[in-house]
Chains A and B, each alone.
Chain A
Amino acid sequence: MEKQFTLASSPHIHSGRSTQRIMLDVIIALCPAAIAGVVIFGWRALLVLAVTIASCVAFEALFNLIVKKEQTIGDFSAIVTGLLLGMNLPANIPIWQCVIGALFAMVVVKGLFGGLGNNPVNPAITARVFMLVAFGSMTVSAFPTLVDTVAGATPLALGTGQSPYTLLDLFLGTTGGAIGETCAAALLLGGIYLIVRRVITWQIPVAFIGTVFVCSFFMEGFNAVAALSMILSGGLFIGAIFMATDYVTSPVTAWGKIIFGVGAGLITFMIRYFGTYPEGVSFAILFMNILTPYINSWTKHKVFGTGGKKQ
């Protein structure tokens, strides 16, 4: 017998896309906003980001070791979660809280559900909400060190209509808030990168942000400036672009994504205007995460040849 070649199922070539590359793209896309956060909030912000990233990676590695699973930190998803979590925290948060948040994200939300791809909700968002509930409303009191502002409160905590910030402040992020959420310009840049790289599609961010804009526009008596400051404030951009688009916990088809985005936008709007918490993005995404399996089953593709044409 001659040499045996590999026998394998077709196809025999691959597009070259990989989980690792997608995660790397997300990290690259988050960098501008992370850097902006460090510039705006100072070295303490850098420390928070470093701690959340390091502890997320460490907890994932440790978890894999303990449950004797193949090591998965090489897929970079733990770095993404760590970075996102850190960017959702204020720069003055106690470090031990960061570590607890990372533990919650990686072990409770991700690891125990079977690791990458199996978590029912987004680990970073859930950890943020968990910390908000467990440690009080620490997410609303960070002082930008770059500019001298009158108040340490975030634009949203000040209540609608009384924001001391101009649209430009909000766009550039020189306001109060979590490390990575304030600089809308940088987040937008990251979002465009992800769409160009085809890591995400436009539907969720556009539907999400668009819904909040339209609702606020009516609510504010057709005041475009107020509606704009509403969408530029708080965690809407980082949430809509980076967390609501998490594959695992968002719908698969284009229509499903639009439903998801509109739903999240409506909930955000309601919480912001009528709820007790000043910020609704995290809750909105969390809630839509839970609805995702249903949205998926309502909006799945019609298989070709099974009654009517596909889409």
Chain B
Amino acid sequence: MAFSLHGVHVPHRKYTAGFPAELLETPKAVTIPLSMHIGAPAKAVVAVGDLVKVGTLIAEAGGAVSAPIHSSVSGKVTKITDFLLSDGRTVPAVVIEADGEMTPDENIAPPVVNSRETFIEAVKNSGIVGLGGAGFPTHFKLNADPAKIDYLIINGAECEPYVTSDTLTMENRGGDMKVALEAMKQWLGIKRIIIGIENNKKKAIEKMKELAAEVGNDCIATVKVLPPVYPQGGEKVLIYHTTGRVVPAGKLPLDAGCIVVNCTTLAAIGAYLQTGMPLVEKCVTVAGGAVKEPKNLLVPIGTPMAEVFAACGGFVTEPAKVVYGGPMMGITVPDLSAPILKNTNAILALTEQEIRTPKTTNCIRCGSCTNTCPFGINPAEIARAYQKKDAAALKKLELMSCMECGCCSFICPANRPLVQTNRLAKVFLKEEMTKEGKK
């Protein structure tokens, strides 16, 4: 691998690095949307008035690409409402009023795993989805033809500014990760494991090296130390930088013989195998200039952001934007009722100062965007093609390869809304392509 992909040097602002995860007080009520993953929403199996405990199944998987959902508190289902997801879809959400006891469901027991099928089934029942952000159901990803898997890559490249929850996982949950890796070796026939981490996470690297040595007795397990360039944790970027393999445009990692699992997802699998407690809480980095005391908090899924921020002393100034995830790819929320989801690794309250952008001017054709794009896409040209509604040109510019990492917008001196334009252009191109398909 001669060249590294481009990217940007983002300010790290990892103020919560090394902060242990504190436990959030039991929230008064949780709102659990029935879709926190890519794929079909889950189907509710509880009704208003039902009593639930921590870990009780409240919705079952709604298809092959789906995941079940469990209660994160003990209490009573008070409402099943409509919930507007950030992608515009409306799904049902179960509202549970907590009794404050956090009583675990008595049926919780470690799963019996004695075959590949029972292992995949266990991962499915755990409700675990890709916790690095995408929320792709993990069981579906793992249920691949073992002959095709050359590498299992553990994503420890936490490249987004502010966010430290994955690093915390690597530092403290090596045991859980080990259990999961052993199981994956045994049941999925994994031969080679690479853990990718950026070189600015010294303690995590040390811990992961220990882990690699422990699981590396009958397979090759290595830690690959990477430069802290954003977006190192992007799936295709990570695969290229750890294995040198290129995932073809429009294809999945598996097409390059790789499976990528986020480190926190891995730890969650390990925890489930040991206890049988499904994914009901998340370690969340709470940060941003508006937060009084930034922290890492263990939060029951469904807890409204308002309570999480309150546990961090509230705001020192009125935030300008509140974001799920990191500042490069995170999604803004309209208000603080938004709940913590399975794939929430951070919530940020950003000040005017932090989100300040220069004045937008015409594109000065400096080329920074395409020279910075990890994939060599030219978003300035895409913007011009989109303006002309030129579907053929958009296709030729490989618009669909864009992972929306944000490097181009971040670097653009003219402050052009490049990522946003790419998103709109994708919607347009998909429409055009279906139109064409119908003809």
CB-CB contacts below 8 Å: A14-49 with B:
14-22
Q: How far is the CA of A4 from the CA of B285 in the complex (A)?
A: 22
**Closest partner residue, chain A, to B372 (CB atom):** A15
Q: How far is the CA of A30 from the CA of B304 in the complex (A)?
A: 55
A125 CB to nearest chain B CB (Å): 16
- A interface, by DSSP: helix, strand, loop or mixed? loop
Known contacts A2-B337, A117-B364; decide if A19 and B329 are in contact (CB<8 Å). Answer: no
B48: chain A residues at CB < 8 Å are none
Known contacts A8-B321, A12-B321; decide if A72 and B370 are in contact (CB<8 Å). Answer: no
1/0 contact trace for A218-253 toward B, CB 8 Å? 000000000000000000000000000001100111
CB-CB contacts below 8 Å: B301-348 with A:
306, 318-323, 327-337, 348
Is B213 located at the chain interface by the 8 A CB criterion?
no
B414: chain A residues at CB < 8 Å are 18-19, 117
Q: How far is the CA of A168 from the CA of B11 in the complex (A)?
A: 45
From B11, B246, B358, B409, A309 is in contact (CB under 8 Å) with B246
CB-CB contacts below 8 Å: B375-390 with A:
375-378
Known contacts A15-B411, A18-B358, A118-B362; decide if A253 and B371 are in contact (CB<8 Å). Answer: yes
Q: How far is the CA of A286 from the CA of B22 in the complex (A)?
A: 64
From A10, A16, A115, B419 is in contact (CB under 8 Å) with A10
B84 CB to nearest chain A CB (Å): 12
Q: Is the beta-carbon distance between A3 and B335 smaller than 8 angstroms?
A: yes
Q: How far is the CA of A114 from the CA of B363 in the complex (A)?
A: 11
Number of chain B residues whose Cβ lies closer than 8 Å to a Cβ of chain A: 72
Q: Is the beta-carbon distance between A19 and B246 smaller than 8 angstroms?
A: no
Known contacts A5-B333, A9-B423, A11-B328; decide if A306 and B323 are in contact (CB<8 Å). Answer: no
Is B80 located at the chain interface by the 8 A CB criterion?
no
A21: chain B residues at CB < 8 Å are 358, 413
B164 CB to nearest chain A CB (Å): 16
**Closest partner residue, chain B, to A117 (CB atom):** B362
Listed stretches A99-107, A258-266, A276-284, A295-303; interface member: A295-303
Q: Is the beta-carbon distance between A5 and B335 smaller than 8 angstroms?
A: yes
Q: Is the beta-carbon distance between B365 and A252 smaller than 8 angstroms?
A: yes
Using C-beta atoms within 8 Å of the partner chain, give the interface range for chain A: 35 or more
Contact count A vs B, C-beta below 8 Å: 181
Q: How far is the CA of A14 from the CA of B411 in the complex (A)?
A: 7
Q: Is the beta-carbon distance between A11 and B419 smaller than 8 angstroms?
A: yes
A30 CB to nearest chain B CB (Å): 17
- B interface, by DSSP: helix, strand, loop or mixed? loop
Is B398 located at the chain interface by the 8 A CB criterion?
yes
Known contacts A4-B334, A252-B371; decide if A17 and B327 are in contact (CB<8 Å). Answer: no
Q: How far is the CA of A114 from the CA of B361 in the complex (A)?
A: 12
Q: Is the beta-carbon distance between B376 and A72 smaller than 8 angstroms?
A: no
**Closest partner residue, chain A, to B377 (CB atom):** A303
A248: chain B residues at CB < 8 Å are 364-365
Is A7 located at the chain interface by the 8 A CB criterion?
yes
Q: Is the beta-carbon distance between A10 and B365 smaller than 8 angstroms?
A: no
Is B350 located at the chain interface by the 8 A CB criterion?
yes
A187 CB to nearest chain B CB (Å): 21
B320: chain A residues at CB < 8 Å are 5-6
Q: How far is the CA of A304 from the CA of B333 in the complex (A)?
A: 32
From B5, B350, B409, A304 is in contact (CB under 8 Å) with B5
**Closest partner residue, chain A, to B373 (CB atom):** A301
Is A164 located at the chain interface by the 8 A CB criterion?
no
Q: Looking at A2, A8, A15, A77, which has the most chain B CB atoms within 10 Å of its CB?
A: A15
Q: How far is the CA of A19 from the CA of B368 in the complex (A)?
A: 12
A sample of 15 inter-chain contacts (CB < 8 A) reads A6-B320, A10-B327, A10-B331, A12-B327, A12-B332, A18-B413, A19-B361, A19-B413, A72-B362, A75-B361, A118-B362, A247-B365, A302-B376, A304-B375, A306-B401
Given contacts A20-B359, A22-B366, A305-B401, 19 further A-B contacts (CB under 8 A): A5-B332, A5-B335, A6-B320, A10-B323, A11-B327, A11-B328, A11-B409, A12-B348, A13-B327, A72-B362, A117-B364, A117-B414, A253-B367, A254-B371, A300-B378, A303-B377, A305-B375, A306-B248, A306-B401
